[in-house]
Structure formats: structure tokens, C-alpha cells
Chain A
């Protein structure tokens, strides 16, 4: 899901930094509007680290196993802190594990971060059904998790297929996007169910984690 270095044209990478900069500015502006912006920093930081660690958990999909992206869950829990959290998480992955890249940090953050913010908005709809409605929490948790990865997957594949090799014809491009998106449907379902289970766990054990974001 993370686009590495050397793939995208420089203009796209710089554009990615511009959009990530704008999204970060907007998120920080929202955070700064809170009564004590520094108060939320340790919480968001520890949760950033916790999300990164949680994404290392292997989910068995026989005969192999997968890692989840968890951007939908991150959006649901962290709200506007999700964008800086994702930016930092991707920076760690690029620098420490060579996963993703330094030139593509902006575009990766934009794709995954914006889909996390959208997932956050999807998850907020549950409040219309009452604060303690477990069914609505589960359903919108599923939708947040599935939409987070779905949006990111479509954006990554569209970007990759339209920008990498100039020699691939239009028909092949469409087929590739179609195949790759369909291949991600099981992963979307998996991510959606996982997010729903985690938010149901959180609402039972620590409901404050899902409040007021």
C-alpha cells in the first residue's frame, strides 16, 4: 500500500508533499483550536506508536498471513490527530524499515491520511443513533475500516497505473486497476470486521478512547 521511491514522477511527489502539507496544516489548526493543544500530544503520540505496533500483528489468512493498514481505525480513534499520526508512522516506516519512501512520504501520507479522515467522518455518523448504540458502533466501525482501505487502495492503484510506465495502453491500465481493486475486496472486508471488533472492544473496555474526537 505504500508507494516506494523511484516510481512516481518528481512532480507527483512534490504535489504529494504540497497536499500533505495542506492537510497537516488543517489538522494542526483544528488541534490548536482545542483548549490545551499540548495535552493531546502524549496521547496521540502513544496511540501513533500503538497503531504502528498493532499493524505488525499477523492476521492468518490460510495459507498465508497479512498485516492490516488500520488507517480507518486510526481515523475513528484519533480524529484530526490521525493525519499527523499517519505522517509520523509513515516517516518511521520509511526511515527505520525502508517501507515506503522519503520522496513519496507526502503522497503516501495524503492517500492514507485523507482516507483516515474520511473514515473518521464515516464513524461519526454513529452518534446519530445514540452514544451507546453498540449495533451502530459496530456497523460504522466496519464501514470506517473498510472505506479507509478501499479509498487508499483505489487511490494508490490509480496513481501507480496512470503514472509509472508510459508505455502501458489505456485498456491494460483499466484492467490492472480493476483486478487490483477486486483483489483488495477480501482485505477491505477483513479490515472492516477487524475495525468493528476493535471499536466494540474499546466501547466495552475504554469508551473514552472513542469520545470527543
Chain B
């Protein structure tokens, strides 16, 4: 099991080189500004901005498309419900079902915001290694317990995932077929075994970490140094977010 998120994190583009703390703050503010948009006239603007930033990030289109597969199912569910359930103005009939104008506009609003925010999120975490992102959050004041837990969980997530795969293969080789509810208690034992193995491993990990000095004050160092260009880029993004919010307030 491999993490695909860091696949393009080492490209050489201005977005990749941007100070991670500035990038986190700037992109998150822009994401929240986009989520504030309700006026339909602003939808093309946020779509173009997120699209342009994606192109600028140098990330391939296939990377974006591959990450949109799962969320697209959610959008499909919304598309099936909203046009029929929301509003009173009937646009046209499909058999006994009436497609309503307000529902279609709600769907458009949700779809564009969803896609734009998702794209910005992919740019944010796709243009720096995940570990750098967590260190940047720590640099911005994330409590050490949360930062340590995130780093440890990340370190062991795919190892435990591989353990699960190995156990499932062993179960299949012994004749277990995961097709009926009768195998429920076996699956509960499988989940329990994963927890027990992780629990036992954590004791060993903790002892090994203590030997290596874990818990000493210098275990986290602020390794980031923001340049003038990083701060300018941050201010640019904050200004863009402010423009989006102000325009929304004036229009809606």
C-alpha cells in the first residue's frame, strides 16, 4: 500500500518552493473565502482561480482526476436528489418527477464550490511532502500531542494497512470467504487483532523512542524561514480572499 499524495511534492515550481507555513495560511483562508460564495456570478471566478492555480502548480491533470473519483460519487448522489427536492419553480418533467429551477441552481452552487475547494486542497497538500505540512502546522502553533500523534499515525498507517492485507490473504488461504454475514465474528476478531498488534507494537516503539531522546525539548525545531517573496505571495492570496468575500457581500 503506497501513499500517492507525495508523488509530485518534489517538483520545482514557485508553489512547491513557497514557505509551507505561508502556503497553509494563505490557501486555507482562500478555501474558506470560496466556501463563503453564494452568488452565482462569482462561481466562474472561483472556478477559474482554482483551475489557474492548479495549472501553475505543475501538478498533472491525471493526479487531480484520480483524486476526484471518490468525491464524485457524493456529487452524483446530490445531483440525483437536489433538482427534484429543492424549490417550487418547475423547469420540466421527467415522468412523474419535476425538475426544479432552485434545485438545479443549488446543485450548481454546491458542485462548483466543492470542485474549487477540493482543487485548492489538492494543490495545498500535493505541493509539499505530508511531513513538511505537519511540521508547518506545528510551526503555526499546533499542540505537540496532535503533531506527534499525526506524525506517528502517518508513519504506521500504511504499515498496519499492509498487515491487514497480509491477514486477509492468510484468512482467504484458510478458506474464509467474506461474502456472508456469518463471517461477522471472524471480521471482528480480525479488527481486534489489528488493535492488539498495534497496541503491542506501540510499547516497543515508545521504548525505542525514549532511548533516542523522545520528549526532550529540542525534538521539534522550527526549520522554516519565510522569504520576502513568500510573505508577498501570502498577502496576495489574503487580498484575493478579501476581494472574494467583499464582492460576495456586495452582490448577494
Contacts and interface: CB of A to CB of B under 8 A. Distances in A.
B153 A202 contact: no
Interface residues of A, number: 72
Given A84-B146, A194-B184, A5 B195 contact: no
B35 A103 contact: yes
Contacts, number: 220
Interface in B41-95: 67-68, 70-71, 74, 82, 85-88
Interface residues of B, number: 80
Question: What is the interface of chain B mostly: helix, strand, loop, or mixed?
Answer: helix
Interface string A40-70: 0111111111111110111111100100001
Interface in B125-178: 125, 130, 143, 145-146, 148-154, 156-157, 160-161, 163-164, 178
Interface in A46-104: 46-54, 56-62, 65, 70, 73, 77, 84-85, 87-89, 91-92, 94-99, 101-103
A33 interface: no
B113 A164 contact: no
Question: What is the interface of chain A mostly: helix, strand, loop, or mixed?
Answer: helix
A204 B247 CA distance: 62
B136 to A, nearest CB: 13
Residue with the greatest number of chain B CB neighbours at <10 A, chosen from A13, A49, A56, A102: A49
Residue with the greatest number of chain A CB neighbours at <10 A, chosen from B106, B112, B187, B205: B187
Nearest to A31: B145
Contacts of B113: 5-6
A102 B154 CA distance: 18
Interface in B216-243: none
Interface of B: 3, 5, 28, 31-32, 35-36, 67-68, 70-71, 74, 82, 85-88, 100, 102-103, 106, 110-118, 121-122, 124-125, 130, 143, 145-146, 148-154, 156-157, 160-161, 163-164, 178-181, 183-185, 187-203, 205-206, 209, 214-215
